[in-house]
Amino acid sequence: MILAVVLMAFFVAPIMAIAGSETDCSQAVTLIKAQKKQMSRDLRQIKRELAQIKNAIEEPGPSEILGGIGYIIGMFGISYYWLARNRSKENK
């Protein structure tokens, strides 16, 4: 619904204003081309911003790095605990 209102405001309303003033269709075509050019610029900017956001999300942050280090240390701790438990059973 909102998209329809936006499209109406940007595309249909200016064209209807030109058509109502009894000018030829070349002005309407010129207006549509200018709007298309502006929309292309806006879409390129949005695509660039989305790419930047995607790159920022994909990079690991400090919490992910510390979490990975903690995971590795935890795995070593579990393996040392298991080895120590097995050695204590052998010594009994």
- How far apart CA 35 and CA 45 sit, in angstroms, is 15
Q: Does residue 25 share a domain with residue 52?
A: yes
Q: Does residue 55 share a domain with residue 73?
A: no
Q: Does residue 45 share a domain with residue 7?
A: yes
Q: Does residue 53 share a domain with residue 15?
A: yes
Domain range for 48 is 1-59
Whether residue 3 has pLDDT greater than 60: no
Name the domain count of the chain. 2
Whether residue 4 has pLDDT greater than 80: no
pLDDT, tens digit (0-9, with 9 covering 90-100), for 21-30: 556 788 888 8
Q: Is the pTM of this model over 0.95?
A: no
Q: How far is residue 15 from each of residues 1, 29, 51, 63, 82, measured CA to CA in Å?
A: 20, 9, 34, 53, 77
Q: Does residue 85 share a domain with residue 40?
A: no
Q: Does residue 22 share a domain with residue 1?
A: yes
